[in-house]
Structure 1
């Protein structure tokens, strides 16, 4: 007597991968993102591999591709969350400050502090070749972070929207350049809390020169 083949096996013809044991769909995504951020924090962008992210999440090497397509897809999700967190930090820094100069000063400090506390994530956010550069969510998240500067700069300089965008680009370029130099330890070590405090004191002096919160600009 022939064994009867189930309708499920006849209809598919192939065995499809099921969810990883112990994980629901959303939980696995979160585990892979958390593992990726841990790798970036410890080893930087250069040390990231999809296989290592899977290993740390406790899943098969093929699991990340089921959810993110490839390494670029996973890192793009990490970058999106990084931009969201940065935009939130900039908005929080400006909230409650009495004037535009104080807001911009606080945002400059918050921007560099974010970079120093999340160096791997920060570097990945701007590593376009490692990301899906035309991802709509990524572009939106990046614009939201820039817009946090634009709102404050527009309040500070007034004038036309185009002029405010130019001034915001100058402000962003200033603090981003400082952050990059700080991560390269051009202002001293940032490997411990004491070193980061010293660098932030240097930044505070720079911001006091460029955008003094009150009173005249300090003499160089």
Structure 2
């Protein structure tokens, strides 16, 4: 009886996280269309069946990626809030847009109409947590606070999408971060 490593089963320390990490790289490099469970298994170096232990379908993988995105986004917003900026709402708005620009494919996946939140409780909880962070900053009573938070969200989300789609062109020498700050704070850009 042989006890060589060649006969030992393959073990991965934390396969789910390794799959998600690799999927994020593929997502940013190739877009959502480049994500398949078999290709992901190959990228991580596991059998084609291994990813199915953690994601029963491609849709489940996409949902997990979107949840990861919302969790990262919420952490970024919490960090901004904890830093105590003078204008918290503007600082969070800037963080929102910059997160979108730095995580283009992930951001698009997070808000993809393909991932219907009403059928995915994990995704609903993650997106609700992100919105709750914004709502907490805006404040107000239940109805007014919700409307104010939705208005703030629409403004920064619209700006993010316009920038992602190339609908707002940068002028020569223009700094994207300065432009985003000026728009979010509703002030002219310093020359």
Identify which of 65, 82, 90 aligns with 1:78. 65
Deviation at 1:43, TM superposition (A): 1.5
Q: Tell me the equivalent position of 1:199.
A: 176
How many pairs align?
Answer: 180
Cα distance change on mapping 1:56 and 1:185 into 2, 3 Å: same
Cα distance change on mapping 1:202 and 1:85 into 2, 3 Å: same
Identify which of 145, 148, 151 aligns with 1:164. 145
Identify which of 49, 55, 72 aligns with 1:68. 55
Deviation at 1:177, TM superposition (A): 1.2
| Stretches of structure 2 lacking an aligned partner (at least 5 in a row) | 1-7
Contact 2:134 2:149 (C-alpha < 8 Å) held by counterparts:
yes
Q: Tell me the equivalent position of 2:133.
A: 148
Deviation at 1:98, TM superposition (A): 5.4
How far apart, in 2, do the equivalents of 1:49 and 1:20 lie?
A: 24
Describe how 1:1-220 pairs up with structure 2 within 5 A: 21-24=10-13, 27-97=14-84, 99=86, 102-130=87-115, 134-154=119-139, 158=140, 160-188=141-169, 198-209=175-186
Contact 1:72 1:131 (C-alpha < 8 Å) held by counterparts:
no
How far apart, in 2, do the equivalents of 1:131 and 1:28 lie?
A: 26
Deviation at 1:32, TM superposition (A): 0.9
Contact 1:95 1:103 (C-alpha < 8 Å) held by counterparts:
no
**Structure 2 SS opposite 1:87:** helix
How far apart, in 1, do the equivalents of 2:26 and 2:32 lie?
A: 8
* TM-score of the superposed pair, with normalisation by structure 2: 0.84
Deviation at 1:131, TM superposition (A): 6.5
How far apart, in 2, do the equivalents of 1:49 and 1:98 lie?
A: 42
**Structure 1 SS opposite 2:105:** helix
Deviation at 1:55, TM superposition (A): 1.3
| Stretches of structure 1 lacking an aligned partner (at least 5 in a row) | 1-18, 190-194, 210-216
* TM-score of the superposed pair, with normalisation by structure 1: 0.74
